Amino acid sequence: MTAILKVDTIQDTSGNNIINESSDTITIGASGDTTNIIGTLQNNGSAVAVANTPAFYATMSGNQSYSSSGAVQKVSFDSEYWDTASAYDASSNYRFTPQTAGKYLVYGCVYAATFANESMSGGAVYIKKNGSNYQGVAGNNTHNTPEFQTVGTPFSIAVEMNGSSDYIECYVQITFSSGTCNINHDNNGKASFWGANKLIGV
């Protein structure tokens, strides 16, 4: 036997609304209540995400040679610490292509090293979206030699991604006097790093 219960409001023994339906809007609980959900909360058949994922964090396995003063060069972050959705390419393109639409917090820092009698006169870090400059962080200080320093400053920005084809990459531009310059990974491999995670509620 099948039974159908038709009501607009379900209340507790004290007369407080537990569930109320009005104008096709269902309200569960009231202000001050704690609502425990056992099972999977869904939105139109899909599980509602409660984690800041997709997310990744990558560093460098070794120093990267920087080509020439003033050049704009992609940073080869080739060592992953985590990549929750296998959305970061750490082997060839060094890009993040999340397959979930949303706004992402992108953060990182690039560490550079010059050698011998060279000096570093400036640098910038660029986050490129789909191959075009999206955001840059620049530094303008002149330093004595030899020099280890961050290029620009540690950065954190927000980037909106379409969840299918949008991707981001990290580039650097360094100005130095002569000789050679490295994008440096340091002894523990974490001097230069970047990552991203999906923001919730925006």
Between 24 and 166, the more confident residue is 166
Between 71 and 142, the more confident residue is 71
How crowded is residue 156: how many other Cβ atoms within 10 Å of its Cβ?
A: 13
pLDDT value, residue 142: 52
pLDDT value, residue 60: 92
Q: Identify the burial level of 14 via C-beta atoms within 10 angstroms of its C-beta, where 0-12 means exposed, 13-18 middle and 19 or more buried.
A: exposed
Q: Burial letters for 37-70: b for 16+ Cβ neighbours within 10 Å, e otherwise?
A: eeeeeeeeeeeeeeeebbbbbbbbeebbebeebe
pLDDT band for position 15 (cuts 50, 70, 90): confident
pLDDT value, residue 133: 94
For 109, the 3-state DSSP assignment is: strand
pLDDT band for position 63 (cuts 50, 70, 90): confident
Report which of 45, 10, 50 is spatially closest to residue 30, judged by C-alpha positions.
10
pLDDT value, residue 90: 97
The span from the CA of 144 to the CA of 121, in Å, is 9
pLDDT at 76 over 80: yes
121 and 127 Cβ atoms separated by less than 8 Å = no
Q: Domains in the chain, ordered, with CATH? A: 1-35 (no CATH), 55-198 (2.60.120.40)
pLDDT value, residue 179: 66
Strongest mean pLDDT among 80-89, 137-146, 152-161, 190-199: 80-89
pLDDT value, residue 103: 96
The span from the CA of 76 to the CA of 60, in Å, is 7
The DSSP bridge pattern shows strands 111-114 and 181-183 to be: antiparallel
pLDDT at 18 over 70: yes
> Taking the model in full, what pTM does it have?
0.72
